[in-house]
Amino acid sequence: MPVHYSLAATELRERLRSGDLTPTAIARDVLAAVAAEDNRHQAWISRAPEGAVLARAAALEADPAARDLPLYGIPFAVKDNIDVAGLATTAACPAFSYIPEQNAAVVQRLLDAGAVCIGKTNLDQFATGLVGARSPYGICSNAFNPEYISGGSSSGSAVVVALNLVSFALGTDTAGSGRVPAGYNNIVGLKPTRGLLSTSGVVPACRSLDCVSVFALNAEDASAVFQVARAYDDTDAYSRQTQPSLHLPAGGFRCGVPRRDQLEFRGDGESERLFYAALKRIEQAGGTLTEIDFAPLAETAALLYQGPWLAERLAALGEFFTTHYEDILPVTREVIGGAAKYSAADAYQAAYRLEALRRLSMAELAKVDVLAVPTAPTIYTIAEVEAEPFKYNSTLGHYTNFVNLLDLAAIAVPAGLRNDGLPNGITLIAAACSEPLLCELGDRLHRASGLAMGTTDYALPPPPASWRDVSGDAGVRIAVVGAHLSGMPLNSQLSERAAVLERTTRTAANYQLYLLPDTTPPKPGLVRCAGGGHAIEVEVWRMPVEHYGSFVAAIPAPLGIGTLTLEDGSTVQGFICEASAIAGARDISAFGGWRSFLQRR
């Protein structure tokens, strides 16, 4: 029997705080529900031992400090191409299986936040597919109708969330795997900006494009998990420092939609009906619909599986593809093996075409704040996909494959139920670091649909009071070098804008510092030099996005704000000086910084 209460993390947190529930009680209920479900949807590949789950819950319960953790006692699942220490990572290929000694970085952050791992979920083998029907561990069927596909490759993660067996689950999303399964199972799928969630400990598909994604029963839960999970990881070459987050405009917003003649539903009238109904809800939420030319985005999407990016999937498997050729499913072999026909020259030609398409696509997206598309054109039965595995899989990526190639963020949310009872989804897409914008608008649309969460009858929890990004990584990082340093005359311009000092560090060793003449209070000017130079001491402050504009506007010439490179190779916004202003100025670079110069001059 299913868990007899909502596992939405928002609601569990309140019940845990009030003492109405305990981590042990939740763990017992979840384990019982998983056992009763008996993997009839073939969503699980492996599960954590019952004793280990209960011991984890008991340890949290016994630790008074743990009760303040953001995910205290919250159960979750992990796609089986992401490492969980002590549980086999298979990537849905038994011959590939290994038992990791440590957790993937993103899993470790969730555990450190108090979450309880229940097990590993089924997927399209090596995360290659959007159907959920390419696994030797069984076809993961739709949570609403077992004759239909659940969507892939993160099929199992979506289904266990939809069945109210866990509060959230991790997936991966290279081509749409964090969105299509959400749309097919009446849940939320958040595909964050590339690099904000570490992929260390994740079996790569296309490493330069891979994202860890989040499935949840509602957008607030997805946002909360994302904020906990994200962090810069210097062990992940593709990890990136967080940039200022984009939020939904306070007034109206512009919502792009493909031209009517460019929308593709493969003749599915129900999918088309529900998409247009969702567009009406966008207008009711304050959006102004603007048609854009979808052609460059559609062509970009085609590059992913009809171009040399397939070679990146082959590179991810390395020698395993040839030494274990017969251990790989025929459909997976054929997809990945297709990389052999592409040359290095083809890869460069495709890269050139991608940049041309990027320019065209961004020109269209610049007209709007967010883009709305169907999550998938239609849905298929398992029998249809088994009969035509390549044809139908390709169809499902029409609205998803371009997103990572163009460095965008996306969220899939429920849009309605078809007349046959199957869920339908809509996807919102926006610029990198737009997760707060996407989650807020996605939540509005989810609520306006009137749908319950997943397969349950439970309504969404009350909306949050604010969607401001409170993860600690929000805001603009500004490097200050002179009169804005701590204790200096202009430091109040930072503190009065709620800026917080993060660290003292130095620039890369290619800058010069000059004493600017006739400035009050005295100020230095920092200039990047072409060769040689010095590492100059700076303070890095984090300022809330809403105050950044007024701060920059108050900076007098010849100073301004540009991009500085720090000694660790990362970049931040920071004070720079016009080169013309240093003519005849005293070079004080040898002092190593403004504070040292003032003390020793």
End-to-end Cα distance, the chain: 77
- Domains of the chain are 9-449 (3.90.1300.10), 476-600 (3.10.490.10)
Q: What is the CA radius of gyration of the chain?
A: 25
Of the pLDDT bands very low, low, confident and very high (cuts 50, 70, 90), residue 547 is confident
**In angstroms, how far is CA 534 from the centroid of its own chain?**
37
Share of the chain above pLDDT 90, in %: 82
Of the pLDDT bands very low, low, confident and very high (cuts 50, 70, 90), residue 502 is confident
Q: Which residues contact 49 (CB under 8 A, 6 or more apart)?
A: none
Q: How far apart are CA 169 and CA 109, in angstroms?
A: 14
Considering the entire predicted model, what is its pTM? 0.81
Q: How far apart are CA 279 and CA 48, in angstroms?
A: 42
Q: Yes or no: say if 333 and 95 are a contact pair by the CB < 8 Å rule.
A: no
pLDDT of residue 29: 98
pLDDT of residue 272: 98
pLDDT tens digit string along 552-585? Answer: 989 998 999 988 988 887 788 999 998 888 888 9
pLDDT mean over 141-169: 98
More confident residue, 465 or 332: 332
* Of 84-93, 405-414, 442-451, 464-473, the least confident: 464-473
Q: Is the dihedral of CA 234, 236, 238, 244 positive or negative?
A: negative
Q: Yes or no: say if 135 and 43 are a contact pair by the CB < 8 Å rule.
A: no
Q: Yes or no: say if 145 and 422 are a contact pair by the CB < 8 Å rule.
A: yes
Q: Yes or no: say if 571 and 241 are a contact pair by the CB < 8 Å rule.
A: yes
* Of 140-144, 193-197, 200-204, 504-508, the least confident: 504-508
Residue 483 sits at the vertex; the CA angle it makes with 481 and 488, to the nearest 5 degrees, is 115
Q: How far apart are CA 29 and CA 15, in angstroms?
A: 14
- Residues labelled as active-site residues: 79, 153, 177
pLDDT tens digit string along 164-218? Answer: 999 999 999 999 999 999 999 999 999 999 999 999 999 999 999 999 999 999 9
Q: How far apart are CA 393 and CA 386, in angstroms?
A: 10
pLDDT tens digit string along 318-362? Answer: 999 999 999 999 999 999 999 888 999 999 999 999 999 999 999
pLDDT of residue 498: 75
Q: To which H or E segment does residue 90 belong?
A: none
Pick the closest to residue 581 from 553, 554, 558 (CA basis). 558
Q: Which residues contact 444 (CB under 8 A, 6 or more apart)?
A: 281, 285
